[in-house]
Structure 1
Amino acid sequence: MGPVSAPPPPTSPAGRTGPGHTHWLRVAREAADDLATDTVAREQAGKPPFDEVSRLREAGLLTLLAPAGSQGGGADWPTAYAVVREVAAADGAIGQLLGCHYFLSWSARFFAVPALAARTEELSAAGGWCWGGGFARQEPPLTLARTSRGLVLGGRQSYTTGVLVADRLAVRAVREDTGEPLAVVVDPTRHGVRADADIDTFGQRLAAGGSVKFDGVPVTDDDVLGPLPADEDFPSPRAALASPAGHLVSVQLLLGLAEGVLAETREYGGTGRAPWHLPWSAGTPHDPEVLTAYGELTVLTRSASALADQAVEAVQGALALGEDLTYDAYAGVSALVAMAEAAASRAARESTTRALDIIGPRSASARLGLDRFWRDARTHTLYEPVSQRLREVGDYFLNGAHPPFVLPS
């Protein structure tokens, strides 16, 4: 097996003639600066992030990926990834919420026929929808049954990102008669949908997570985006890109958390707020141990970032190939994203833990809120364990095995 290589450079997708990467990165930084002014207070209050979603909507970030011709931002995935990372550095939970929104709002392009995908995306952009939900397998599954009244959705999804604030939910359901898994879009205001804020995690408190119950919810044919792969099936390479594209959102979230905590701890020590009095005393910014620790964390985070940049280029190139993408090329992209996620996971866990050690006991102050970075990173890595990513990379490297199609949690 040769080294993983990226597909050819992407071409500009039709209909995407928005302001460009530089504009949206500036908008994201402004939004992140706005969120940073009260992140600690909002995170500790833990209220559903209606105001935060409004801020993102007003900035145009919710419609970032939709074509400019359908009232969208006309941006591409590399731009969306950069935006998620920028926001996550200021507020990890809102970064997760936004990343989940981007993946789910794009999901019609992976699983629906082109006409339905375009119609869904146009409605989403026009309404400024915020998307929540998820396609990961769960037991028992949601069921989609055909009755005399038409299709109805039933069951309970135990954890759904964004459920408390979403304008649309994208979920995985199984046809009751055939067992075929399907991607389904649901308006949460429909009769029979009930969301509960019953997920009491110690991190990602502002990601609007909760459970959602569907009790005979009516579903139209246009609400069914298309089939998801069953256990024994593998989708086309084009549809299979949903897996690495989704996991690359996780990479950007983790890198944002790592970069965010390092920036805050550096600022805390550099503004005189830390009680550093004597030069070269333990814990000062001239302490060799402190310098070594920051050096190690910087190298770890920058290395993960470089790998993530390669993965972003590979995913964008694969998306540009469309139906010309081969299974072998898809496998290389998927393995590269798995490497990036493993590296980003380590960078986030190490940085969010050791940065607190550098500050010392003062980092336990609730007023500083530095613990939120650790809690957000640890909660995310529990839902997206890195051990599976490492096994996929090892199997690909040793045996040339194609990584499995696994949608992010």
Structure 2
Amino acid sequence: MILVVNAGSSSIKFKLYKSTGQAEPTPFVEGLAERITVDGALTLKIEGIKKEYNDKMPNHEAAVQAILNRFQENNVIKDVNDIKGVGFRIVHGGVKVVKPVVLDATMKKVVEDNIKLAPLHNPGALTAINAFEKNMPNAKLVGCFDTSFHQTMPPKNYLYPIPYEWFEEYSARKYGFHGISFDYITQKTAKIINKPVDKINLIICHLGNGASLCCVKAGKSFDTSMGLTPLAGIMMGTRTGDIDPSLHQYIAKQTGLDLEQITDILNKKSGLLGISGISSDMRDITAAVEQNNQKAALTLDMWSQRIADFIVKYANLLEGKVDAIILTAGVGENSRVANESILDKVKILNIKYDDKAMASGYDDYIKVSSSQSQYEIYKIRTDEELMICNETLKFLK
């Protein structure tokens, strides 16, 4: 069995997989331990049956113990040694981590060193790693980093036009995120179109509440829209995306807010929510558009235009040699209105979608481009947990 973990400062989201070695691993338990350090709440879903517990969780170690105890109580495992590996989603690996790694003392120090680059995410991940290590001493612990897929970007794409010593001394550069998803989609698309991964060129649109695009050249990340932090790039659920950095200074002078307060607003109260005043959820925005809400229509227009602009930019970086444009994550996989709004704005490329395919349901992936389209377009369901599971399994062979 392989346990996949996504940990925060007060929560541990997890999914347990069975692996026979003969086929794709299958998840059969998933859950969430939350309100860690507060009072504790644990939810398990075992083969579709939901169970809830009010286990006390004063810290992550207690949360891990609660998860493992409930696994045994529900006969999911006989003991902790049934779980051979634990794969962790970790946001930031800096420049040193370019692929999944075993989380030994050296790599845990890398996670710790990069807290300065991901202060909201890396601390929780590190705390969870230590908690699982203590409770599961025989399991192989593997780290999969959201930034590692993008370490193949050339300097011209990851450097900012700032004093070079800021890069040398403070590691100020573009890192990019959603790398686990982009890696999964790249490998998945290569199978779909029957082309070697190292020959494939893609424009991947990972469109969720947090969203970014990736230009994949010869199977590797060549450029991506997020930057030093996940605040950069396209307009998102509550994040601004790219803005004039002088906005901070201007708003500070006008309002008296400090730098941290302004940055918090740009991260949590902007984007779809900020412009619409309705919601950060695209489903709510599109529903309001159908009711002729003008601010919702403006929000959708702004959001889709920024994504369309990146698609055109990345097609140019690939010199027009694009094997496919991929729509993925919550919005990209499911919102017909949002996807069509994006594609309708890509004026300079001859891409056309099939209305029926765009509106059709699907399980894994569906081709939505028409026969007249210059480039193939797919909606593909991403699976970061499966990607982490498969990477963890590699270290057990």
Please state which band the TM-score falls in when normalised by the shorter chain.
under 0.3
- Of Structure 1 and Structure 2, the greater helix share is in 1
- Of Structure 1 and Structure 2, the greater strand share is in 2
Normalization by structure 2: what TM-score?
0.25
Normalization by structure 1: what TM-score?
0.25
Relative contact order: is structure 1 or structure 2 higher (C-alpha 8 Å, sep ≥ 6)?
1
